[in-house]
Amino acid sequence: MKAKTESEIGEKQRGKKEKRSLYINESFNNIKTVKLFGWEPDFIKKVDEVFQEEMAIEDTQHMRQKIYDFIEGLMSKAVTITVFGTYVYLGNTLTI
C-alpha span between 63 and 66 (Å, rounded): 5
The predicted-structure confidence for 61-76, as pLDDT tens digits, reads as follows 899 889 989 999 999 8
Domain of 56?
A: 2-89
Spatial distance between the Cα atoms of 79 and 72, rounded to a whole number of angstroms: 11
Digit-coded pLDDT (tens) for 32-63: 887 888 888 888 898 899 999 999 988 988 99
Tally of structural domains, the chain = 1
In a domain, 28, yes or no: yes
For residues 62 and 32, the answer to whether their CB atoms sit within 8 Å is no
- Could you tell me if residue 95 is inside a domain? no
Residues whose CB is less than 8 angstroms from the CB of residue 31 and which lie 6 or more positions away in sequence, other chains included: none
pLDDT at 45: 92
**pTM (2 decimals)?**
0.64
Indicate the residue type of 20: R
